[in-house]
């Protein structure tokens, strides 16, 4: 009776205003005579148009074909429409595992948008009524029950966390422990933790080499607390685990715990000697959180790691020094490290990669201040990436005399230099917040930049105008003017930043232009406008997801899609070697089709660069502008799936949901926090050694489909 009562309350709550359920029975007669291919096409169109089709989508939940039921449920993970939650939950218990798994994923993707009351009722229904009925049989490496345990971590509260641990973390066969571990990690990502969960992870860690890397990942996402500090020696001992993914996460955790007496020497050992470059990267990042000013040996270690065999390690060594608390006089006493940084920043013979040169200049500017200006010679390079780093470094010196250079560049004709100058000035102003003339000069540059034809410059200026240092009501007319001149899709990121700043300024003059954005055929723009309107009016009645409309760009070339196999193998040439990838059409059909057409028909990727590399995270490319602000001239809708971001996963970059274009990224290690937030189109099956060597500025060659 208790379970039935909970279930009824949940259905009633979800039907409250704002969460209206489709109450009519689905009309299966309209779709029952269609072929599987026709049904899938309808589902994909509805997903892409962010529409339920007035119960058409729900009718597919009852289709006799399990593939159709699963595909319909999966689409809801991208729709994220709370009105679909009750019928999705009813799919728990479906006789087909894939249907259950897809439904569990979709519920996890969507439940976070519920009110707190409805979320609590949903988690109660799942914990008390649904989980015990879900299948534990594996389909493609996962089972529905494990999936649901993990998905609850995306929206549940601390009570749900505690109940999951008590049910699946103690006693029994422990077959669901890995799913529970990832659920704990997802709770932790949202800032929810509990000592019961900490204790479970510590016990799991005690199994030594049998403990999977996910345990170390969950612990480092938690990142602190008495429960973990009480077991520091156990945590330190686990650094000898055979799995490098385990070791790299333990290194990150030890940095967050910050106990130099216990962790410093083990971290130095990992940084200097671990055979996996990703562990060395994480250890160097972790060490930068300690006090380098009292440890000359540690400063010397960074110097020794700069020439590492993997350039990602060297780059991390340089950047980590710049983000540490190291003082100039201490660095200068470490003659070897100081001399090396100077040599790299000058790079007179072109010995070092451009990224090293720019990063060394930035690090020196942060540590020795104005004295670094002697190593920053903007006129010596035409490379846009190095120039950007140099310009940023000038501002990071904190020297007021640098303002003249930066203001000149900010008002110049080169938009790339101008944007870097704004970022450099922002750094300078933050170091000298009491200098009113500096702030006023920067404010004037930002207003001028709003009229630039360059989207990156406008977006940067709009974003900075929302900063507390520059937040002035006098900027509202210029922001509104820039907003009204912006166009979709090329200016989406500028529109988002302008709307966000107008929301912070709270001026009612912005209400009319922001309301006009609600009529645009782009959901990311509608979301940005609605959020800004809520910020100004302090009212919650601006919907940002409910309006159905055809997207401004859509490519429903189903003949092309149908001619492709489920898995498409492609070869990507790069200046470092070849990368072979398997693309998953079934999980992200429109994104895969877009990627292939851009690669093979438009040849858009040929000669583009990898414009972003974050060591032991991602390499990113596919931007025809080469700076992260470009695209193909259209945007795609996100296609979320239960696929995980593992080592070598290929994703599509975005500036928020439904803003994907041509830019792609490849992960260098598992990144679970990206799961369900960025479209995954495939994975690398050969050439990860190439991925690990890619640096900023390396180029993409031909991308071809292999037989």
Instruction: Give the rounded distance of the alpha carbon of 607 from its chain centre.
Output: 25
Which among 630, 616, 613, 602 has a CA at the least distance from the CA of 574?
A: 613
The counts of H helices and E strands in the chain are 34, 8
Max Cα distance, the chain (Å): 81
**569-626 pLDDT tens trace:** 999 999 999 999 999 999 999 999 999 999 999 999 999 999 999 999 999 999 999 9
The answer to whether 630 touches 624, Cβ cutoff 8 Å, is yes
The model's pTM: 0.95
Q: What is the 3-state secondary structure (H, E, C) of 604-661?
A: CCCCCEEEEEECCCEEEECCCCCCCCCCCCCCECCCCCCCCCCCCEEEECCCCCCCEC
Rounded CA-CA distance 396/296 in Å is 24
HSE (side-chain half, CA atoms, 13 Å) at 124: 17
| Tokens at 525, concatenated | 């723009």
H or E stretch covering 682: strand 680-686
Say what the pLDDT of residue 543 is. 66
Which among 293, 369, 308 has a CA at the least distance from the CA of 340?
A: 308
- The list of the chain residues with pLDDT below 50 reads 1-6, 8-9, 12, 15-26
Say what the pLDDT of residue 14 is. 53
Say what the pLDDT of residue 17 is. 38
The answer to whether 492 touches 514, Cβ cutoff 8 Å, is no
Mean pLDDT, the chain, integer: 93
| Tokens at 297, concatenated | 């040996």
Q: What angle do CA 45, 50, 56 make, to 5 degrees?
A: 60
The answer to whether 196 touches 167, Cβ cutoff 8 Å, is no
Which among 77, 110, 105, 152 has a CA at the least distance from the CA of 640?
A: 77
Which among 175, 174, 184, 121 has a CA at the least distance from the CA of 151?
A: 184
Number of CB atoms found within 10 A of residue 275's CB: 8
Rounded CA-CA distance 425/422 in Å is 5
Cite the DSSP H helix spans in 80-194. Answer: 85-89, 97-110, 116-125, 144-152, 158-168, 177-189
H or E stretch covering 680: strand 680-686
Helix axes 415-431, 402-410, angle to 10 degrees: 140
Q: What angle do CA 548, 554, 556 make, to 5 degrees?
A: 110
Rounded CA-CA distance 690/703 in Å is 15
Say what the pLDDT of residue 226 is. 87
Q: What is the 3-state secondary structure (H, E, C) of 251-319?
A: HHHHHHHCCHHHHHHHHHHHHHHCCCHHHHHHHHHHHCCCCHHHCHHHHHHHHHHCCCCCHHHHHHHHH
Q: DSSP assignment, residue 334?
A: S
**462-474 pLDDT tens trace:** 999 999 999 999 9
Instruction: Give the rounded distance of the alpha carbon of 275 from its chain centre.
Output: 28
The answer to whether 391 touches 417, Cβ cutoff 8 Å, is yes
């Amino acid at each position: 009776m208790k379970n039935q009562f909970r279930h009824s309350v949940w259905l009633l709550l979800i039907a409250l205003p704002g969460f209206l359920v489709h109450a009519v029975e689905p009309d299966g007669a309209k779709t029952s005579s269609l072929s599987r291919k026709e049904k899938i096409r309808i589902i994909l169109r509805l997903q892409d148009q962010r529409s339920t089709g007035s119960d058409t989508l729900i009718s597919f939940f009852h289709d006799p074909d399990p593939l159709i039921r699963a595909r319909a449920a999966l689409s809801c993970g991208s729709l994220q429409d709370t009105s679909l939650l009750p019928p999705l939950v009813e799919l728990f218990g479906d006789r087909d595992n894939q249907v259950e798994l897809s439904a569990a994923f979709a519920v996890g993707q969507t439940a976070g948008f519920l009110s707190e009351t409805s979320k609590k009722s949903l988690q109660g229904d799942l914990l008390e009524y649904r989980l015990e009925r879900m299948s534990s049989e594996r389909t493609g490496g996962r089972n529905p029950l494990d999936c649901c345990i993990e998905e609850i971590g995306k929206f549940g509260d601390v009570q749900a966390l505690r109940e999951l641990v008590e049910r699946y973390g103690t006693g029994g066969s422990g077959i669901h422990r890995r799913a529970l571990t990832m659920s704990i990690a997802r709770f932790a990502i949202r800032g929810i933790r509990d000592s019961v969960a900490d204790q479970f992870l510590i016990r799991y860690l005690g199994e030594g080499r049998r403990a999977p890397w996910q345990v170390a990942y969950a612990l480092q996402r938690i990142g602190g607390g008495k429960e973990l500090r009480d077991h520091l020696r156990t945590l330190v001992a686990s650094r000898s685990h055979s799995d490098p993914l385990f070791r790299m996460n333990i290194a990150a955790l030890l940095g967050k715990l910050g106990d130099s007496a216990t962790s410093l020497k083990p971290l130095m050992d990992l940084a200097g000697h671990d055979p996996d470059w990703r562990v060395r990267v994480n250890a160097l990042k972790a060490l930068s959180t300690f006090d380098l000013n009292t440890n000359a040996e540690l400063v010397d270690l960074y110097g020794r790691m700069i020439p590492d065999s993997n350039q990602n390690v060297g780059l991390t060594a340089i950047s980590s020094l710049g983000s540490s608390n190291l003082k100039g006089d201490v660095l200068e006493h470490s003659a070897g490290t100081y001399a090396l940084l100077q040599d790299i920043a000058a790079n007179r013979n072109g010995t070092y990669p451009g990224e090293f040169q720019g990063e060394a200049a930035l690090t020196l500017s942060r540590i020795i201040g104005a004295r670094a200006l002697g190593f920053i010679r903007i006129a010596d390079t035409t490379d846009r990436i190095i120039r950007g780093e140099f310009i940023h470094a000038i501002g990071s010196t904190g020297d007021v005399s640098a303002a003249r250079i930066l203001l000149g560049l900010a008002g110049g004709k080169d938009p790339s230099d101008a944007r870097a100058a704004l970022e450099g000035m922002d750094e300078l102003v933050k170091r000298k917040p009491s200098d009113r003339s500096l702030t006023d000069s920067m404010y004037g540059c930002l207003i001028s930049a709003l009229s630039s034809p360059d989207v990156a410059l406008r977006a940067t200026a709009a974003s900075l105008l929302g900063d507390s240092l520059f937040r002035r009501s006098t900027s509202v007319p210029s922001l509104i003017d820039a907003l009204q001149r912006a166009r979709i899709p090329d200016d989406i990121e500028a529109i988002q930043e302008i709307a966000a700043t107008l929301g912070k300024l709270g001026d009612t003059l912005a209400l009319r232009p922001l309301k006009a954005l609600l009529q645009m055929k782009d959901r990311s723009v509608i979301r940005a406008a609605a959020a800004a309107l809520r910020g100004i009016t302090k009212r919650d009645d601006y919907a940002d997801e409910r309006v159905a409309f055809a997207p401004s760009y859509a490519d429903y070339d189903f003949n092309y899609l149908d001619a492709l196999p489920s898995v498409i193998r492609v070869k990507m040439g790069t200046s470092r070697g070849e990368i072979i990838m398997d693309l998953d059409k079934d999980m992200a059909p429109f994104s895969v089709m877009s990627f292939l057409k851009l690669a093979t028909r438009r040849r858009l990727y040929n000669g583009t660069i990898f414009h972003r590399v974050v060591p032991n995270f991602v390499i990113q490319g596919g931007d025809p502008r080469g700076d992260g602000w470009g695209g193909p001239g259209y945007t795609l809708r996100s296609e979320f799936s239960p696929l995980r971001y593992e080592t070598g996963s290929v994703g599509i970059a975005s500036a928020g949901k439904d803003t994907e274009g041509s830019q792609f990224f490849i992960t260098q290690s598992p990144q679970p926090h990206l799961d369900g937030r960025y479209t995954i189109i495939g994975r690398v099956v050969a050439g990860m050694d190439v991925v690990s060597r890619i640096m900023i500025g390396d180029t993409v060659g031909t991308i071809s489909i292999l037989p």
